Amino acid sequence: MVVPYELKVMAASTTVQSIRGTLRFDRDPVTVLAGIDPRPPSSGNIPASPPGPSGSQVNPPDTSVAPPTEPHKPRLPFPEPTRSPDPIVGDFHVIDGIGTALLKVEADRQDQRQDGPYCPMAVTSDGKLLYLLDGSGALHRINLETLRAEAVLQTGHSGQAIAISSEGVLIGLRSARAIWVVDAQTLRVKREIPVTDVSCVASAPTLSIGYVATKGRFQVLDLKKGYVSHDVRTGIRGQGGAAQSALSSLIVSMEVSRDGRYLFAASDAIHRFRIYGERLIHEESTTRLTRGHPTGHALSPDGRWIALPAGDENSGADGRRMPVFDSAQLGRAALTLSTGAHPCAIGFDPKTGRMYVPDYDKMNVFSPRGRLQRQARLGFMGLRKIIALPIGERYIVWARGRIAVCDLQPKRLSELLKAE
């Protein structure tokens, strides 16, 4: 783009010299002159200007929220965490060569929607700690190297969401209508942030801000000061300049890439947003992927792969197949997995590159190229979330009524339990 300019040299309100010329830009001159490069670093997976499904993309201005005049005061004192160095594993069994250790935690609430994706658990990037908000509202800090619960916080509320930030662990408490920022080491509550919706919360270990989603917009949380700092509308400009919403249906899951650069959100499609400070820039969305009952998306630990499983099968000509996308190119599936009728979850192994996809009471193991390598019985049904661990061939599953650690090498899991 070529932009003409005129530079006037002034002295005492008098023009001393006028210089005219042109400037050539290879990208948006407004953001260049403002000092904001809209392109991410070249080392990342995401392209500079990915083609979107609805033409040129632009965000409406964010709405800043004035900080409170005084810190928010919770209605009741925060509960204190307790130490819990006891083993947390109950039964252990091996079925079809997969070892399964059931955790002694309450998986589901009585009032939880059975088709909801609410499985609030998060693992640190090194795979050593698991933070789990169980069905009773208790937050557990579990050492995955010893399979012991190190601390427990009884929140007294029903919880729906969890995320890890630089300020600590974020937990979304529905009955409190608030986000609690909890110290990651001690599980002491640092502060409470009132919000209108706690079904989804997202952050990253590199960020001191968090996100909660409502229909058609995000709220940005200042985790250091403890308040909602921005109300971000997520519109994109479609063909003909007509404004459209990037989030036209209910968001069921959100996740920030571990480097803190991108926010991924899922409704009946997957949406990618670039993070610039407290702004969100919509970059790309998939087409509709589900028929109405998505169970939440899954992003691989390295941020390369992403998929949106659905309990009622994924959309398309063959509903028994799940598309897996390169997170940098959401316009077309990179892989298609023959999953079976009800693929409700997917986990990406960060060490081997394999993908774990359940179907009813079976676990399908796919190669990095999408070929079915193995199928084994689970011993339970209703699996809704999988987190694969950096150790490789070990993953955590959240099923209806059960949470378990599974290992494709059952001997090493058995030895770990015997040592404890």
Distance from C-alpha of 401 to C-alpha of 67, rounded to nearest angstrom: 41
Per-residue pLDDT of the chain (420 residues; tens, 9 = 90+): 555 555 555 444 444 455 666 555 444 443 333 333 333 333 334 433 333 433 334 444 456 666 665 566 666 689 999 987 677 898 999 999 999 999 998 877 544 444 445 789 999 999 999 999 998 899 999 999 999 999 999 999 988 899 999 999 999 998 888 999 999 999 999 999 998 878 889 999 999 999 998 666 788 999 999 999 988 765 544 333 333 455 556 788 899 999 999 999 988 889 999 998 878 888 999 988 887 666 788 999 999 999 998 765 555 545 578 899 999 999 999 999 988 777 889 999 999 999 999 988 889 999 999 999 999 998 887 888 999 999 999 999 998 888 999 999 999 999 988 876
pTM (whole model) above 0.85: no
Distance CA 323, CA 370 (A): 10
Which of 89-94's residues contact partners 24+ apart within 8 Å by CB, and which partners?
A: 89/147, 89/405, 89/417, 89/420, 92/413, 92/414, 92/417, 93/379, 94/410, 94/414
Domain boundaries, the chain: 1-34, 78-419
Q: Which of 316, 309, 279 is nearest to 385 (CA)?
A: 309
- Cα 163 from chain centroid (whole Å): 8
CATH 3.90.230.10 at 78-419, yes or no: no
CB neighbourhood size of 206 (10 A): 14
